[in-house]
């Protein structure tokens, strides 16, 4: 028995030794063979461009179009955006997605900084500025300076004031402009917007286009801050860009459009390519307001955007009311809806168009800035650019048609009305821009539907997503208080 | 110690037989058999059954223990006489010609000394266990076989909660013991161990969610569901960590210990058994469909395409709704099956097709053939078994085939060395497994939203548009869901799986006291899959073809050293120490062509775009050392101690070693104290245990996720370099009482488990850059009661009635979550309903929105007459887990007949029914009939501008009312009580008399009729309250996402043994 016990202990010791000595491989075993720990900028950029634009055009389709009376639901028994009822969830997709992407934007910036790749760095700054401007214009005060710092332990970022955010955005865009160097292509590729991945004749066309996008975006934002000139040097910055196009180039043709052109091959499909008919066009129709104005001038963009319906054996474009009474329900497929061709249209991925820039310049010219052209000149270029952007020819005589022809002799207010109406059409599918512009200028003048309850007002922002109440309540409460409440009617800083 | 007892009994049995043999003289011609039966003390035993085996010839002993059997015929040598009496061991005596057979019966405490296979394959006497262990024999999984044998455990084990998915022919099941201890649903399954080696119950998902994802999940099954029930000898359920501490990490939720059959040593020679099962499946139950109103949103007319009656009501967004006109035999322009575009040329009669849904389903057929050979020599035993199973499921062109081969070998090489090996090989193959869930390309989605009572399912049979075969599907009505026949004949999900579960082991006895066992086992599977989708599908306009190769294995190697001895004459002592090395490896290689260049050509090479690779590999290792010791005092008091230390590769180096102990004890009360005579046995047991758990690989460092196949992105979850192991501690006590010579038995367990330091993903404000962070946090506390009651109300020589009742109740409460977090979402159906862990709440609590109500509790309506926007505050509407579950088995044996009936059911538990929600909003069910004529004034109030309430008086159409009332976001109206009772199993068996079959050299022959799930009693409105959602590879309880109908199975079994 004694022998047995000794044997037993000896064997136990051997077993114990064998098994505890095997942990030295653990680090290797616990290293993921499929996912890298370090990546290069090219691997982030393309996917980021794709995701960003999918979210932004989704916002156009789901929010802006309904609020701005481009389209309206077929039936709506309760509330609805078209009756100016804005829920907390209306902006949660934008909020969640854009902030999700921001971690990648940060990485793009820091990795390119480490690799001394200024062009990537500038593009990171551009995306950051573009995305945060949309976020702050939608919500007002938002997490900015403390955002995306979870890795350093900050799980509850404080919110920044819109004014402070704009100061930094404008600064970042200026930095981006100076960083962009068109003698270099993007070393690690990945650019799906301007394909600035290669050099041609020692220059990168693409990088130049990024530069144009940076400055065009800066003009968009500066114009948005018109009312706050003085608090921020708005006019001065506009002039800085306008007088020195060599340093601050802006879009000069449709070739410069900041559009993610969906290649239609895996994986970068137009996000609507397999949308169900039910979701795509059987529940939503264009409004009378939108479609009738296009009908009136026989705008050729109609054919790209809208389906036709048969009325008295004639194929026509026909819209429905927005803000209608809740007991109204439109019959299916008897009004124009989104054309199926849009589901696979490459140029649906709009971030900012040359057309928009021309309308910006038209307004600046009207305000007296030296844009190098008249308001009328910019206005007409804007319309032509939008036609080209949607792939239709500008019909001859279109610009002279009643309702289109620019009345240069009219009052500034009347001229602005014309500019803003055409800009509204040109902003079709451009994230929330038409809504932001409406809040800034109160244009175009939208009719008020008879089914909109008297107490409902045109929204000036989207309330914060509900989840913040449980995950970052102190900061969201503070931000609401600073702003004057978390209502959809609270005006953001630049709208005040 | 257990070995000692075992040999003792073997010896005593042998001695008795020897004695009997000596008593007999060879050959006799008398036809009357007589004798006296006594007990060990020589006291006569009255009431003993004496029976000529295989006949009805027999008698009972009188008060003096004497018996006599007059036989009408001469007994032939080697005919067997059986002496049986309750509480005594049954003795079989071969007739050797002597007409007087006196016999002594030995008391049967076998039941008390039943040997149970515990952790690591260690066999223990049941009475020595300090924790609950319930054993089931082969009958339990074979009486009414299911395609997934796990389903046969329903109602048979107290504490076992099986949740099926109704997700197809494979019938995957979530196996849970003693409630939900982890906030991660995938962590709550019991460990499955086959012949000492853990195997996987993981469903390798398709990467797709159940609700409107790009594609839908397929239930491909797991290693566990592929086990062949014919090869299972016993299933021992070790319910708590006390029983399973030695298995470490994965057994925190208990374990099912499966022992497969091996060659029988007792009757040497060759045994051949053949058995076949043929069973038929029909849909068990339909929702309460209405057949009174047809398609449309208006009851004024119906028109297929635009007609003189009005605009089209059949093929657009209005389609799929059954709020159209009443079937009164009127004439409408309806679909014309004889024209290519279906355009009607004349009016036809408006009438219902009552089989518009059921007509799609067929009678399922499952056939199974099993042949097994076994035999043994003095030193070896072997068993070989082959089973072929073919399933044609209730949906056309779906089903699978499974071939299982199993070999078991044991050989005593020398006096000291014994080797054994078991190998189970499975080949599973399917040409098409159905897509589950709610999606354009799932059958049940079509059945819910694609069709209405005026439609004939046959109109869908030609699923291609003429001239556009392979290019454009025909979808004559609602264009959303894909044509169901296109789905089953063209959208195929194929698989071929080769699986091996096996082990080899060697045991060396250094001395009678000291032995070493070394065992290595593997669960290995290679699975090839493909999914093909034709052109013109909603989700894949240009078709799709995907292939995956999934290879995974787990290898466990154990060395176990055991030593046993007597410390004093009264104290037995044994100790075992061992080490385990576990490696898991998973290798998933997918290649995807998500648009096809040519229609109908399903090859990766036909990819329109560059085909995309999707690799996923991981591996994990755990090294462990463990030790256990047992002390027993006079076989009356037992004490077990165990300890185990694990080193896991998945945890950070600083925290990767963790130790956990267990202690358990049992007291045999009837030997320790004087109990009333009626107590045959009484035992009380206590155990306390801790089990640690690790996590998935690669959680402790920052990695980038692949996205869109060619780029990388930050993951949504923040890694954690400081993770610690999870710890579950449990306390259990139990009572085991057997009364009246074992005719009544009660086994009662009470337990409490605390799981803390859980590795979970806490939600973050995503403006911080991440949506979730990995943390150690939380405390889940589970407690429960388990009852197992056995009774033998009638025991006569010819008629026996055995009855078993199982009942259990578990409550798992969320005590703590991460600091600052009081609510964690466990599962979510698009925010319509979520299963949330809230501090203070129960695991499985279901939250969602409900009606806005006035202070008096009445539903608030809008001035438009529909319920006002839902109350935005999430409220609890139910719980995904049952209040209690129970099962009752009654088995009657009369002569050669056996009838077994199992009812089981649950009380409480709730399910959110997507099926019912949608059927109601679309007017397909009878509950939507009231108000069809004349509209509905909803019962409730309307808020006045001054804040007061007045009754709602506004009349709205039925369509508008039900659409709003049952809308998807309304958890209040879409969550239902899932209480049910099922007639789960029945078997009626006839064993042919031995006298008959022995002539054709058969040892046993039986014919049986059986049924599974024959009856269902429930108020649940959809197909079956036993519902869950297969989401990717996770089975999510509490949410039913377009479940398939469940089936009623009837079958016949024939078994012959040579």
> What does the pLDDT look like over B664-705, one tens digit per residue?
999 998 888 888 888 888 999 999 998 888 888 999 999 999
B627 in contact with A at a CB cutoff of 8 Å? yes
B616 in contact with A at a CB cutoff of 8 Å? yes
Round to whole Å and give the CA distance between B995 and B53. Answer: 9
pLDDT at residue B998, as a whole number: 79
Q: What is the CA angle A373-A375-A379, rounded to 5?
A: 105
pLDDT at residue B2, as a whole number: 40
List B402's β-bridge partners, or say none. Answer: B389, B428
Q: What is the CA angle B88-B89-B93, rounded to 5?
A: 125
* Residue B429 vs residues B215, B374, B554, B1009: alpha-carbon distances, Å: 22, 28, 22, 28
CA distance A106 to chain B (A): 9
Residue with tokens 């050979």, as numbered in its chain: B373
CA distance A378 to chain B (A): 39
Round to whole Å and give the CA distance between A129 and A225. Answer: 15
- Checking if the pLDDT of B22 tops 60, the result is no
CA distance B128 to chain A (A): 24
User: What are the chain B neighbours of A102 within 8 Å (beta carbons)?
Assistant: 769
A454 in contact with B at a CB cutoff of 8 Å? no
Mutate which of B765, B771, B956 to test chain A, going by most A C-beta atoms within 10 A?
B765
A25 in contact with B at a CB cutoff of 8 Å? yes
A104 in contact with B at a CB cutoff of 8 Å? yes
B718 in contact with A at a CB cutoff of 8 Å? yes
Q: Do A20 and B647 touch (CB under 8 A)?
A: yes
CA nearest B537 in A: which residue? A274
Contact B772, B762 (CB under 8 A): yes
Where would I find the beta strands (DSSP E) of A355-428? none
Rama region for A253: left / alpha / beta (φ>0; ψ in -120 to 50; rest): beta
The distance of Cα B425 from the centroid of its chain, to the nearest Å, equals 21
B710 in contact with A at a CB cutoff of 8 Å? yes
A276: nearest CB among B538, B608, B705: B538
B708 in contact with A at a CB cutoff of 8 Å? yes
A282: nearest CB among B316, B620, B716: B316
A467 in contact with B at a CB cutoff of 8 Å? yes
SS3 A331: coil
CA distance B7 to chain A (A): 21
List B658's β-bridge partners, or say none. Answer: B646
B565 in contact with A at a CB cutoff of 8 Å? yes
The distance of Cα A15 from the centroid of its chain, to the nearest Å, equals 63
CA nearest B647 in A: which residue? A23
pLDDT at residue B246, as a whole number: 76
Query: Quick one: DSSP state of residue A490?
Result: P
Q: Do A34 and B312 touch (CB under 8 A)?
A: no
Mean of pLDDT values over B525-539: 94
Q: What is the pLDDT of residues B225-236, one digit of tens each?
A: 888 988 999 999
SS3 A441: helix
CA distance B768 to chain A (A): 4
CA nearest B541 in A: which residue? A274
Round to whole Å and give the CA distance between A294 and B92. Answer: 100
Mean of pLDDT values over B778-792: 93
Q: Do A22 and B866 touch (CB under 8 A)?
A: no
B440 in contact with A at a CB cutoff of 8 Å? yes
Q: Do B765 and A471 touch (CB under 8 A)?
A: yes
Mean of pLDDT values over B926-939: 94
- Burial of A163 (C-beta count, 10 Å sphere; 0-12/13-18/19+): middle
Token code pair at residue B6: 């075992």
B595 in contact with A at a CB cutoff of 8 Å? yes
CA distance A266 to chain B (A): 6
Q: Do B516 and A11 touch (CB under 8 A)?
A: yes
Token code pair at residue B379: 């030193």
How many helices (DSSP H) and strands (DSSP E) are in chain B? Answer: 10, 57
ipTM above 0.90, yes or no: yes
pLDDT at residue B1020, as a whole number: 95
Helix (H) or strand (E) segment spanning residue A365: helix A354-367
Mean of pLDDT values over B65-86: 76
Mark which residues 536-555 of B lie under 8 Å from A by CB: 538-541
pLDDT at residue B16, as a whole number: 43
Helix axes A288-296, A412-426, angle to 10 degrees: 100
Round to whole Å and give the CA distance between B1030 and B207. Answer: 11
Round to whole Å and give the CA distance between B613 and B592. Answer: 6
Among B137-151, B362-376, B387-401, B782-796, name the one with the lowest average pLDDT.
B137-151
Mutate which of A29, A40, A83, A141 to test chain B, going by most B C-beta atoms within 10 A?
A29
Range B314-349 burial, b when 16+ CB lie within 10 A, else e: bbbbbbbbbbbbebeeeebbbbbeeeeebebeeeee
Round to whole Å and give the CA distance between B380 and B1013. Answer: 42
Round to whole Å and give the CA distance between B297 and B922. Answer: 9
List B160's β-bridge partners, or say none. Answer: B177
Mark which residues 277-306 of A lie under 8 Å from B by CB: 277-278, 282-283
Q: What is the DSSP string of B843-858?
A: TTEEEEEE--B-TTSP
* Residue B899 vs residues A162, B368, B790, B1049: alpha-carbon distances, Å: 78, 22, 17, 17
Q: Do A143 and B617 touch (CB under 8 A)?
A: no
CA distance B614 to chain A (A): 10
User: What are the chain B neighbours of A99 within 8 Å (beta carbons)?
Assistant: 766-767, 769
SS3 A3: helix
CA distance A18 to chain B (A): 9
A8: nearest CB among B561, B615, B716: B561
Contact B206, B531 (CB under 8 A): yes
Q: What is the pLDDT of residues B239-278, one digit of tens each?
A: 877 777 778 777 888 889 999 988 875 555 688 999 999 9
* Residue B13 vs residues A154, B7, B106: alpha-carbon distances, Å: 75, 10, 9
The distance of Cα B643 from the centroid of its chain, to the nearest Å, equals 31
Q: What is the CA angle B1022-B1026-B1032, rounded to 5?
A: 95
Mark which residues 132-151 of A lie under 8 Å from B by CB: 142-143, 147-151
The alpha-carbon radius of gyration of chain B (Å, integer) is: 32
Return the closest-CA partner of residue B79 out of B33, B14, B10.
B33
Round to whole Å and give the CA distance between A53 and A257. Answer: 13
Token code pair at residue B269: 């020679």
SS3 B138: helix
CA nearest A274 in B: which residue? B539
Contact B33, B53 (CB under 8 A): no
- Strand A309-311 versus strand B32-38 pairing type: unpaired
H-type alpha helices, A74-200: 92-115, 118-139, 162-179
User: What are the chain A neighbours of B311 within 8 Å (beta carbons)?
Assistant: 331-334
pLDDT at residue B196, as a whole number: 84
A–B CB contacts, 8 A cutoff, strictly below = 237
Q: What is the pLDDT of residues B481-512, one digit of tens each?
A: 999 999 999 999 999 999 999 999 999 998 88
- The average confidence (pLDDT) of chain B is 88
User: What are the chain B neighbours of A282 within 8 Å (beta carbons)?
Assistant: 316-317
CA distance B1024 to chain A (A): 29
- Checking if the pLDDT of A168 tops 50, the result is yes
- Checking if the pLDDT of B46 tops 80, the result is no
Other beta carbons within 10 angstroms of residue B722's beta carbon come to 12
pLDDT at residue B316, as a whole number: 76
The alpha-carbon radius of gyration of chain A (Å, integer) is: 27
Mean of pLDDT values over B516-524: 93
Contact B1040, B924 (CB under 8 A): no
Q: What is the pLDDT of residues A370-412, one digit of tens each?
A: 999 999 999 999 999 999 999 999 999 999 999 999 999 999 9
Mark which residues 355-414 of A lie under 8 Å from B by CB: none
Contact B646, B248 (CB under 8 A): yes
Query: Quick one: DSSP state of residue A38?
Result: S
User: What are the chain A neighbours of B540 within 8 Å (beta carbons)?
Assistant: 274
Q: What is the pLDDT of residues A51-101, one digit of tens each?
A: 999 999 999 999 999 999 999 999 888 789 999 999 988 999 999 999 999
User: At A54, phi and psi to the nearest 5?
Assistant: -60, -45
A473 in contact with B at a CB cutoff of 8 Å? no
Q: Do B625 and A16 touch (CB under 8 A)?
A: yes
CA distance A61 to chain B (A): 19
CA distance A224 to chain B (A): 25
The distance of Cα B1026 from the centroid of its chain, to the nearest Å, equals 11
Mutate which of A13, A25, A30 to test chain B, going by most B C-beta atoms within 10 A?
A30
CA distance B665 to chain A (A): 25
A75 in contact with B at a CB cutoff of 8 Å? no
The better pLDDT of the pair B376, B353 is held by B353
pLDDT at residue A17, as a whole number: 61
Q: Do B712 and A43 touch (CB under 8 A)?
A: yes
């Amino acid at each position: 028995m004694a022998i047995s016990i000794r044997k037993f202990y000896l064997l136990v010791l051997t077993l114990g030794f064998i098994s505890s000595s095997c942990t030295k491989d653990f680090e290797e075993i616990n290293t993921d063979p499929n996912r890298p720990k370090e990546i290069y900028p090219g691997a982030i950029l393309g996917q980021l461009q794709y995701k960003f634009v999918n979210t932004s055009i989704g916002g156009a389709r789901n929010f802006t179009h309904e609020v701005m009376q481009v389209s309206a639901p077929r039936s709506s028994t309760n509330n609805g955006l078209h009756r100016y009822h804005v829920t907390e969830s209306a902006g949660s997709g934008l909020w969640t997605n854009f902030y999700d992407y921001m971690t990648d934007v940060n990485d793009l910036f820091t990795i390119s900084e480490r690799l001394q790749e200024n062009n990537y760095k500038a593009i990171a700054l551009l995306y950051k500025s573009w995305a945060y401007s949309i976020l702050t214009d939608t919500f007002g005060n938002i997490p900015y300076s403390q955002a995306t710092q979870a890795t350093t332990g900050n799980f509850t970022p404080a919110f920044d004031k819109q004014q402070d955010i704009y100061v930094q955005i404008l600064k970042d865009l200026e930095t981006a402009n100076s960083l962009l160097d068109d003698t270099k292509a993007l070393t690690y590729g990945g650019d799906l917007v301007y394909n600035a991945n290669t050099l041609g004749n020692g220059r990168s066309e693409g990088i130049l286009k990024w530069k144009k996008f940076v400055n065009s975006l800066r003009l968009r934002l500066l114009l948005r801050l018109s009312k706050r000139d003085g608090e921020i040097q708005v006019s001065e910055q506009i002039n800085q860009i306008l007088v020195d196009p060599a340093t601050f180039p802006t879009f000069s043709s449709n070739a410069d459009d900041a559009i993610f052109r969906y290649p239609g091959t895996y994986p970068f499909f137009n996000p609507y390519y397999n949308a169900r008919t039910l979701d795509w066009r059987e529940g939503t129709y264009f409004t009378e307001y939108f479609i009738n104005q296009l009908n009136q001038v026989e705008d050729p963009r109609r054919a790209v955007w809208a389906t036709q319906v048969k009325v008295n054996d004639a194929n026509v474009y026909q819209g429905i009311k927005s803000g209608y009474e809740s007991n109204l329900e439109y019959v299916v497929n008897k009004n124009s809806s989104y054309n199926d061709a849009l589901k696979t249209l490459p140029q649906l991925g709009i971030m900012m168009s040359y057309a928009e820039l021309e309308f910006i310049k038209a307004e600046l010219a009207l305000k007296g800035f030296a844009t190098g052209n008249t308001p009328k000149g910019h206005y007409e270029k804007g319309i032509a650019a939008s036609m080209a952007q949607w792939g239709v020819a500008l019909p001859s005589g279109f610009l002279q048609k009643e309702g289109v022809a620019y009345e240069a002799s009219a009052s500034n207010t009347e001229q602005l009305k014309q500019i803003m109406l055409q800009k509204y059409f040109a902003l079709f599918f451009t994230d929330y821009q038409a809504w932001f512009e409406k809040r800034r200028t109160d244009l175009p003048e939208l009719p008020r539907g008879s089914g909109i309850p008297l107490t409902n007002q045109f929204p000036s922002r989207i309330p914060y997503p509900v989840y913040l109440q449980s995950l970052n309540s102190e900061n969201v409460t503070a931000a609401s208080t600073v702003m004057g409440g978390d209502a959809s009617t609270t005006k953001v800083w630049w709208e005040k | 110690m257990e070995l000692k007892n075992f040999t003792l009994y073997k010896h005593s049995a042998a001695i008795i037989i020897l004695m009997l043999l000596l008593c007999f003289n060879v050959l006799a011609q008398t036809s009357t058999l007589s004798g006296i039966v006594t007990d060990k003390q020589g006291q006569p035993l009255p009431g003993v059954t004496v029976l000529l085996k295989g006949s009805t010839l027999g008698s009972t002993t009188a008060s003096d223990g004497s018996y006599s059997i007059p036989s009408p015929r001469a007994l032939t040598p080697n005919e067997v006489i059986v002496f049986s009496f309750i509480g005594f061991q049954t003795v079989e005596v071969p007739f050797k010609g002597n007409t007087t057979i006196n016999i002594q019966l030995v008391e049967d405490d076998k039941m008390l000394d039943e040997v149970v296979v515990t952790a690591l394959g260690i066999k223990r006497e049941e009475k020595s266990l300090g924790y609950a262990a319930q054993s089931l024999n082969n009958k339990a999984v074979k009486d009414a076989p299911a395609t997934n044998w796990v389903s046969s455990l329903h109602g048979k084990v107290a504490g076992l909660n099986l949740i099926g998915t109704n997700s197809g022919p494979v019938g995957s099941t979530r196996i849970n013991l003693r409630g939900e201890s982890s906030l991660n649903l995938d962590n709550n399954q019991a460990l499955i161990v086959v012949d000492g080696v853990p195997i996987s119950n993981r469903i390798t998902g398709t990467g797709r969610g159940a609700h409107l994802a790009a594609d839908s999940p397929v239930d491909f099954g797991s290693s566990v569901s592929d086990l062949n029930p014919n090869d299972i000898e016993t299933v021992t359920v070790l319910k708590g960590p006390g029983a399973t501490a030695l298995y470490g990490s994965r057994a925190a939720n208990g374990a099912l210990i499966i022992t497969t059959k091996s060659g029988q040593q007792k009757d040497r020679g060759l045994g051949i058994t053949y058995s076949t099962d043929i069973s038929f499946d029909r849909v068990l139950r339909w929702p309460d469909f209405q057949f009174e109103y047809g398609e449309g949103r208006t009851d004024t007319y119906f028109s297929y395409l635009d007609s003189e009656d009005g605009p089209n009501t059949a093929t657009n967004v209005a389609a799929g709704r059954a709020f159209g006109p009443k079937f009164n035999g009127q004439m409408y322009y309806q679909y014309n099956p004889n024209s290519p575009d279906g355009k009607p040329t004349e009016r036809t009669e408006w009438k219902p097709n009552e089989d518009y849904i059921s007509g799609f389903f067929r009678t399922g057929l499952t056939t199974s053939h099993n042949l097994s050979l076994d035999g043994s020599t003095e030193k070896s035993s072997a068993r070989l078994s082959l089973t072929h199973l073919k399933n044609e499921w209730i949906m056309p062109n779906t089903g699978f085939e499974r071939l299982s081969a199993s070999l078991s070998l044991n050989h005593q090489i020398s006096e000291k060395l014994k080797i054994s090996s078991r190998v189970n090989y499975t080949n599973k193959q399917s040409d098409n497994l159905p897509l589950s869930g709610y999606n354009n390309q799932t059958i049940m989605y079509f059945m819910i939203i694609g069709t209405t009572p005026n439609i004939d399912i046959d109109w869908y049979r030609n699923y291609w548009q003429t001239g556009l075969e392979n290019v454009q599907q025909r979808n004559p009505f609602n264009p959303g869901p894909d044509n169901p026949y296109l789905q089953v004949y063209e959208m195929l999900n194929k698989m071929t799986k080769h699986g091996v579960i096996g082990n080899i082991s060697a045991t060396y006895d250094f001395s009678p006291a000291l032995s070493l066992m070394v065992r290595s086992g593997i669960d290995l599977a290679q699975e090839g899959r493909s999914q093909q989708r034709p052109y013109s599908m909603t989700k894949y306009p240009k078709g799709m073809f995907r292939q995956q190769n999934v290879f995974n294995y787990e290898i466990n190697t154990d060395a176990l050293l055991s030593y046993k001895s007597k410390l004093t004459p009264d104290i037995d002592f044994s100790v075992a120490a061992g080490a385990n090395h576990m490696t898991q490896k998973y290798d998933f290689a997918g290649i995807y062509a998500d648009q096809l260049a040519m229609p109908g050509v399903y090859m990766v090479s036909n990819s329109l775009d560059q085909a995309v690779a999707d690799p996923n590999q991981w591996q994990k290792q755990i090294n462990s050392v463990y030790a256990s010791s047992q002390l027993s005092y006079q076989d009356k008091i037992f004490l077990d101690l165990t300890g185990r230390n694990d080193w896991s590769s998945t945890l950070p180096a600083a925290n990767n070693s963790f130790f956990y102990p267990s202690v358990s004890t049992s007291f045999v009360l009837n030997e320790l104290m004087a109990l009333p005579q009626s107590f045959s046995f009484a035992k009380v047991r206590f155990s306390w245990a801790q089990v640690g758990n690790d996590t998935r690989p690669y959680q402790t460092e920052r990695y980038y996720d692949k996205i869109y196949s060619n780029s990388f992105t930050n993951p949504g979850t923040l890694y954690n370099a400081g993770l610690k192991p999870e710890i579950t501690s449990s306390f259990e006590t139990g009572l085991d009482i057997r009364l009246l010579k074992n005719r009544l038995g009660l086994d009662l367990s009470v337990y409490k488990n605390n799981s803390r330091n859980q590795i979970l993903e806490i939600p973050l404000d995503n403006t911080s850059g991440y949506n979730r962070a990995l943390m150690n946090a939380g405390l889940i506390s589970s407690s429960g009661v388990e009852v197992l009651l056995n009774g033998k109300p009638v025991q006569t020589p010819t008629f026996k009635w055995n009855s078993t009742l199982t009942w259990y109740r578990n409550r798992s409460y969320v005590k703590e979550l991460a600091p600052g977090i009081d609510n964690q979402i466990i599962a979510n159906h698009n925010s319509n309903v979520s299963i949330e862990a809230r501090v203070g709440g129960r695991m499985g609590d279901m939250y969602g929105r409900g009606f806005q109500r006035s202070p008096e509790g009445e539903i608030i309506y809008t001035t438009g007459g529909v319920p006002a926007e839902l109350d935005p505050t999430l409220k609890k509407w139910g719980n995904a887990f049952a209040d209690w579950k129970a099962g009752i088995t009654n088995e009657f044996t009369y002569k050669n007949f056996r009838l077994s009936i199992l009812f089981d059911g649950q009380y409480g538990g709730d399910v959110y029914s997507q099926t019912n929600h949608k059927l109601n909003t679309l007017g397909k069910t009878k509950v939507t009939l009231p108000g069809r004529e004349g509209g509905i004034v909803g019962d409730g109030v309307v808020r006045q501008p001054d804040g007061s309430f007045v009754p709602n008086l506004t009349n709205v159409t039925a369509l508008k009312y039900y659409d709003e009332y049952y809308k998807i976001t309304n958890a209040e109206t879409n969550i239902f009580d899932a209480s049910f009772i099922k007639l789960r199993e029945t078997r009626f068996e006839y064993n042919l008399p031995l006298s008959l079959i022995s002539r054709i050299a058969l040892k046993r022959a039986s014919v049986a009729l059986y049924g599974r799930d024959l009856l269902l009693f429930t108020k649940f409105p959809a197909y079956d309250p036993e519902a869950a959602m297969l989401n990717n590879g996770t089975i999510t309880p509490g949410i039913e996402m377009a479940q398939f109908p469940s089936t009623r199975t009837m079958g016949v079994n024939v078994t012959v043994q040579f």
